[in-house]
Homo-oligomer: A and B are copies of this chain.
Amino acid sequence: MLIEVIAAAKHIPDHDLTGKTAVVFDVLRATSTITTALANGCLGIFPVVSVEEARSLAAEPQKKINNAHPGIMLLAGERGGQKIPFFPHGNSPLEYTPQVVTGNYLVLTTSNGTRAISGAARASDIFIAGMLNAKATALAAAKKGKDIVLICAGTADKFSLEDTLAAGFVIQELLQLKPSLADSATGALRIAQHYAREPIRAFYDSRHGQKLLRLGLEEDIKWCARLNMYDFTSRYKDGKIELYR
């Protein structure tokens, strides 16, 4: 089993994901928001790349989504860390309380995260992960028994410390399988080991963390930095992300 890490969504085309297990990280904040919403009873999340796509999907008759569980389709997203004008919901995991999401769906568009998810389409399975469910995601990925590609959404097409950190924690959990590590995976592992005692320090060291702090979003950072809060992962399939155990 080979494990490698892609530093930013932009670099996905350099890698052949065919027949591999992909895991997508956009820890601040898309994949942490997805995980939190599913934990709080959201039935499914539709990640889309553009604002227009989000609007048109949310406007579709609800029964197209799920006859058995009609639910409401909530329109959510951000650009540059801030809410999209006229979108009722943003990209803060703390917005998605049980009161808001139980029995409902989300259509989510974010700067980097949703692009990374759609870019991973050729992989056999696409899991969605963060600090919140690093261990559960590692277990699910390990069970597939295939090579694993950990895809960091990155920030502005570049290496992001918090995504790499979360990838490193997933790799740490996979070490017992004696995998073969690409240098990118060894690097991510060393970064996770460096911050293991206090992972939130990496978030304060990161440029995107510093930006969210300036926007007054420290509670979001604290939430997204929590390690292994949940015992499930989620999976993207046929355009939708659902809870996966």
Question: A residues within 8 Å of B by Cβ?
Answer: 4-5, 7, 10-11, 14, 155, 157-161, 164, 181-184, 186-187, 190-191, 193-195, 205-208
Distance in Å: Cβ of A12 to nearest Cβ of chain B: 13
Tell me how many chains of this kind the complex includes: 2
Nearest 7 Cβ contacts at the A-B interface? A161-B183, A159-B184, A190-B194, A190-B191, A186-B205, A159-B183, A160-B183
Is A182 a contact of B194 with CB atoms below 8 Å? Answer: no
A14 to B14, CA, bound (A): 14
Is B187 a contact of A158 with CB atoms below 8 Å? Answer: no
Distance in Å: Cβ of A195 to nearest Cβ of chain B: 7
Is B182 a contact of A164 with CB atoms below 8 Å? Answer: no
Is A7 a contact of B159 with CB atoms below 8 Å? Answer: yes
A183 to B161, CA, bound (A): 5
Q: Which of A14, A160, A181, A183 has the most C-beta atoms of chain B within 10 angstroms of its own C-beta?
A: A183
Is A207 a contact of B190 with CB atoms below 8 Å? Answer: no
A119 to B161, CA, bound (A): 26
Query: What residues of B have a CB within 8 angstroms of the CB of A184 in the complex?
Result: 158-159
Interface SS, A side: helix
A207 to B190, CA, bound (A): 15
Query: What residues of B have a CB within 8 angstroms of the CB of A194 in the complex?
Result: 190, 193-194
Task: Specify which of B5, B155, B206 is in contact with A186 (CB 8 Å cutoff).
Answer: B206
Query: Could you list 6 examples of A-B contacts with CB < 8 Å?
Result: A5-B159, A7-B7, A10-B14, A14-B157, A14-B158, A183-B205
A39 to B137, CA, bound (A): 50
Distance in Å: Cβ of A38 to nearest Cβ of chain B: 27
Is A183 a contact of B155 with CB atoms below 8 Å? Answer: yes
Given A14-B157, A157-B14, A194-B193, A207–B187 Cβ distance below 8 Å? no
Is B182 a contact of A207 with CB atoms below 8 Å? Answer: yes
Query: What residues of B have a CB within 8 angstroms of the CB of A208 in the complex?
Result: 183
Closest B residue to A195 using CB positions? B190
A190 to B191, CA, bound (A): 6
Task: Specify which of B5, B155, B181, B187 is in contact with A164 (CB 8 Å cutoff).
Answer: B187
